[in-house]
Chain A
């Protein structure tokens, strides 16, 4: 009876724990397999423990170019998309204008379109207007900025919506010009939202494959390289880079969350 009662009380927690397990297990497998020393070309089956891949994370430089290309595109796309998206978010939350419905649909649709559709439509545009030679760095960057903007807008918008507009009024009441109000009050308060949006953009761009494949031409980004490698054989170095990305992310979460968590645990 006690067991049944305990189970009834915690059933939701148990189910949630199992789902978390499902979500996180592949990450552990990625890390685990980064220490593998496969005998063949495919790093799928566990064979032998080794630090080889970690000692040589770029696989003798083979991964250098795709990684650099992905980083470059992700940084540029993040920069442009964050600026464009933040401007739109401010216009939407703080101003009235005509055509709000149109703006909202234009922002929503890219998030609601299958990636393959966005990729092929852009490819069709580039082929029809510029020809096949245009495909490469420029076309990938254009595509990435395009699909990142909407995510920036919703992220910054929610931060702006959560901000008390009276704060700006108060600043103006205290003799701040609109310009000063923006830089001294509004911007510092919205900055975390903009930061989150930039992080999201970076992750989306760095990780994108389908749209990139359609618009890449002969350029090869990191995900595209992995995709090609699936046919030819995947080295454990790919897992090393995947693990590093995860570790950096988790460190970021820890830096952002742990102080808050400590604060609340003290407050109790």
Chain B
């Protein structure tokens, strides 16, 4: 320790009447305290950096490799891989975006009244109902998705009811299904499964945001000449906006990469980008750089859409 530093320390000690030794002991404690947060953070954060951030680099480098399954792939910085995958699979990319957007919109339409009901009208049933919303999480979602095959089967009562109500021709008219008496293996069944699977992700953040709203604000709205609907638009909705932004993001992002619904409830005409990536990376496609390039596109695409959306919605409180 240098002389001026020692002098400073002595002055500091004199100023509040402690001894230099006491002050040093105190500083040691403080220094130990100051390292504590880093000790707590290090293992988890290093894990995430190594297995989440570093792999991003791996995928980018893999995406510009060339070669084949037999001879192996080498890093050749072939950026043209991106052009290749776009021209070959842009249809699937666009389809994935369409499905996930539709899924997000329908999820929002369903989540708003559900979250509103649980947050404001359910009283002491609130926690129980919220538990029921998340309970499906705890049974394998693949099994539950399969259940939709039973529900939407051609000779099931749902399709019968839809036929009777003339909904099936309407759907096929819009191109959401392919025939008048069947709904499976169509965009309709795929989006239906996606909405079912992702709805809890939409509801949770919206519910959390709504639950924080003082119910007296609704009374104040009604007292100030706003009907229930006007109160929802002018008071509830803006106050729940952070939750709505969060909920739609938590729905859209996983939905865009999902291929389980498209495979289990869809058919050859509903192939999405996730399926293509899966086939290229570990399946019969066999071109790992192509799979990687598609992943990078998906990653960058979602990031750009997310950031633009957050900026548009004017909020950064997502989680």
Contact = CB atoms under 8 A, between A and B. Distances in A.
Contacts, number: 258
B108 to A, nearest CB: 12
B153 to A, nearest CB: 6
Interface residues of A, number: 88
A213 B132 contact: no
A146 B48 contact: yes
Interface in A210-268: 210, 213-214, 222-223, 226-227, 230, 234, 238-239, 241-243, 245-246, 248-250, 253, 256-257, 260-261, 264-265
B51 A146 contact: yes
A108 B124 contact: no
Contact of B253 (A113, A150, A213, A248): A113
A3 interface: no
Nearest to B193: A26
A176 B49 CA distance: 37
B225 interface: no
A191 interface: no
Interface stretch (B16-24, B175-183, B276-284): B276-284
B59 interface: yes
Contacts of B41: 87-88, 91, 97, 103
Contacts of A79: none
A234 to B, nearest CB: 7
A27 interface: yes
A103 B51 contact: no
B209 interface: no
Contact of B143 (A46, A111, A214, A242): A242
A110 B53 CA distance: 9
- From A91, A122, A129, A227, name the one whose CB has the most chain B CB atoms within 10 angstroms: A91
B274 A116 contact: yes
B121 A103 contact: no
Given A27-B144, A214-B282, A149 B121 contact: no
Interface stretch (B83-91, B166-174, B213-221, B295-303): B295-303
Contacts of B249: 112
Contact of A19 (B110, B256, B259, B274): B110
B117 A121 contact: no
B145 to A, nearest CB: 8
B210 interface: no
Contact of B37 (A96, A106, A239): A96
B319 interface: yes
B150 interface: yes
B62 A124 contact: yes
B4 interface: no
B295 A109 contact: no
A30 B281 contact: no
Contact of A30 (B117, B133, B144, B256): B144
Contact of B128 (A23, A117, A239, A261): A261
A146 B149 CA distance: 32
Contacts of A243: 139
Given A45-B153, A127-B288, A226 B62 contact: no
Given A23-B136, A128-B61, 5 more contacts: A46-B150, A106-B45, A114-B299, A116-B298, A245-B139
27 contacts: A16-B117, A19-B113, A22-B110, A26-B144, A26-B148, A45-B150, A85-B44, A87-B44, A91-B40, A97-B41, A103-B45, A106-B52, A111-B250, A113-B253, A113-B299, A115-B257, A115-B258, A117-B59, A117-B298, A121-B59, A121-B295, A207-B137, A242-B144, A245-B138, A246-B138, A257-B128, A261-B128
Which 7 A-B pairs rank lowest in CB-CB distance, beginning with the nearest? A114-B257, A121-B55, A95-B37, A84-B44, A16-B117, A116-B257, A249-B138
Interface of A: 12-13, 15-16, 19-20, 22-27, 29-30, 33, 44-46, 84-85, 87-88, 90-91, 95-97, 103, 106-118, 120-125, 127-129, 142-143, 145-146, 149-150, 153-154, 203, 206-207, 209-210, 213-214, 222-223, 226-227, 230, 234, 238-239, 241-243, 245-246, 248-250, 253, 256-257, 260-261, 264-265
